[in-house]
């Protein structure tokens, strides 16, 4: 088991979706002085909550020496936080979606420039702009020309996720009038990623969860990464928390948006994903395919690839994805120059983007 370093719980921000052979994980690192500073950063992030607390956080860290787990706070489920605690990971799910696409492309089963319409029912009208269709690459790189959510999407709140059907998503797509050419403008679109997941699943002839399990989880040994928790996962689920720190019911994302944010996972499983992204793995060609096209994002220092965000600064290049659903926040990323990676999972909406970047490179500010 990875080493765990527990910090004292302090006071504890909120966003929606703002993430072959089995890999051998990094060796477990012994506790060291670095654990103190990591635990202190977790506690500070929980305290600097902007009104959105977390009961606890888990950080997984890895580099050339090995990996370790550092925790702060409480799982609020009668068990101690550790690397096997199960969290909703929100938009980190988009990395799985983009990787599944990249795997199909690497195997010659699809092409990034294929139009979305090729993989949807014939009755679905997919909008174009000036004759330019929406491609799979446009969807994966956050530039489909679609809005963030369908126009008829109910407001998201502290209640369960709206019951929004696949047919309703298709009808909403048919009614969209694109304001820009696909591929020309960054728009963070859960709408687009929902459609991408549906297209991939239809082409593979299976439901979306089965697609990700077969293409990603099984090859990488990620047995605690599922949309529907397995019996073994259920006992390790930490409940989510909102402003009052009361427990809240987890969002169960409908199939229309599963590819945008439905998965649950653990720090240990996501460290396996990082190991595959950073080094040799059965999915190395797919991970390389994800990075081939890089487009501008909404910040001058950041670009987007398929699924990933790429931030340059402080003599470093960070490749990352964050996520958030009601009651949970998440971050996964690595430094391409330092060969180190970080996973941060929180059971509240504290927001962990700055924390994740700071843990990868302390020159990136913890607060911002």
The whole-model pTM stands at: 0.91
In-domain check, residue 366: no
Give how many domains the chain has, as a whole number: 1
pLDDT tens for 152-170 read 999 988 888 999 999 999 9
pLDDT tens for 190-241 read 999 999 999 999 999 999 999 999 999 999 999 999 999 999 999 999 999 9
In-domain check, residue 328: yes
pLDDT at residue 14 in the model:
28
pLDDT tens for 255-304 read 999 999 999 999 999 999 999 999 999 999 999 999 999 999 999 999 99
Distance CA 136, CA 62 (A): 32
Residue of 308, 281, 276 lying closest to 292 (CA atoms) = 308
pLDDT at residue 21 tops 60: no
- H/E segment holding residue 190: helix 190-204
pLDDT at residue 11 tops 80: no
pLDDT at residue 368 in the model:
65
In-domain check, residue 16: yes
pLDDT at residue 16 in the model:
41
pLDDT tens for 33-47 read 347 789 888 888 877
Percentage of residues in the chain with pLDDT exceeding 70? 90
Residue of 260, 265, 263, 271 lying closest to 343 (CA atoms) = 271
pLDDT bucket at 120, cuts 50 / 70 / 90: very high
- Token reading at 118: 């090729």
- Token reading at 77: 């489920």
Which domain CATH number covers 228? 3.40.710.10
In-domain check, residue 215: yes
Distance CA 62, CA 65 (A): 7
Distance CA 57, CA 73 (A): 6
In this structure, what DSSP letter does residue 171 have? Answer: H
pLDDT at residue 23 tops 70: no
* Phi–psi pair at 341, nearest 5 degrees: -135, 160
pLDDT tens for 300-331 read 999 999 999 999 999 999 999 999 999 999 99
In-domain check, residue 42: yes
Q: Which string of b and e fits 37-59 if b means at least 16 CB within 10 Å?
A: ebbebbbbbbebbeebbbbbbbb
Phi and psi based region of residue 132 (left: phi greater than 0; alpha: psi -120 to 50; beta: remaining): beta
Q: How high does pLDDT run on average in the chain?
A: 89
In-domain check, residue 365: no
Place of tokens 């439905």: 262
In-domain check, residue 367: no
pLDDT at residue 285 in the model:
98
pLDDT at residue 110 tops 70: yes
pLDDT at residue 44 in the model:
82
- Token reading at 155: 């407001």
pLDDT at residue 8 tops 60: no
In-domain check, residue 368: no
Tell me which residue range forms the domain holding 47.
Answer: 4-360
- H/E segment holding residue 136: helix 136-140
């Amino acid at each position: 088991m990875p080493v765990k370093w527990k910090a004292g719980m302090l006071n504890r921000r909120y966003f929606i979706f703002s993430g072959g052979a089995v890999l051998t994980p990094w060796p477990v690192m012994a506790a060291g002085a670095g654990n103190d500073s990591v635990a202190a950063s977790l506690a500070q992030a929980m305290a600097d909550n902007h009104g959105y607390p977390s009961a606890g956080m888990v950080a997984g860290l890895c580099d050339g020496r090995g990996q370790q787990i550092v925790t702060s706070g409480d799982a609020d489920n009668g068990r101690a936080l550790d690397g096997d605690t199960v969290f909703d990971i929100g938009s980190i799910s988009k990395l799985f979606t983009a990787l599944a696409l990249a795997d199909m492309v690497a195997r010659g089963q699809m092409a990034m420039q294929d139009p979305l319409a090729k993989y949807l029912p014939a009755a679905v009208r997919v909008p174009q702009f000036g004759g330019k269709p929406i491609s799979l690459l446009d969807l994966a790189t956050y530039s489909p020309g679609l809005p963030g959510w369908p126009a008829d999407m109910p407001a998201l709140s502290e209640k369960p996720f709206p019951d929004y059907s696949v047919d309703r998503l298709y009808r909403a797509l048919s009614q969209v009038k694109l304001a820009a050419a696909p591929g020309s403008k960054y728009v963070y679109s859960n709408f687009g990623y929902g459609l991408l997941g549906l297209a991939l699943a239809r082409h593979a002839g299976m439901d979306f969860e089965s697609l990700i399990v077969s293409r990603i989880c099984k090859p990488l040994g990620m047995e605690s990464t599922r949309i529907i928790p397995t019996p073994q996962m259920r006992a390790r689920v930490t409940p989510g928390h909102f402003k009052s720190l009361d427990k809240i019911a987890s969002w169960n994302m409908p199939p229309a948006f599963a590819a945008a944010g439905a998965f649950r996972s653990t720090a240990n499983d996501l460290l396996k994903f990082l190991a595959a992204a950073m080094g040799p793995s059965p999915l190395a060609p797919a991970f390389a395919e994800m990075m081939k096209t890089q487009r501008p994002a909404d910040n001058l220092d950041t670009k987007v690839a398929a699924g990933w965000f790429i931030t340059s600064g402080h003599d470093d290049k960070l490749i990352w994805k964050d996520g958030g659903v009601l009651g949970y926040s998440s971050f996964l990323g690595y430094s391409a120059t330092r060969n180190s990676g970080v996973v941060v999972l929180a059971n509240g909406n504290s927001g962990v983007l700055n924390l994740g970047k700071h843990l990868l490179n302390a020159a990136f500010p913890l607060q911002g």
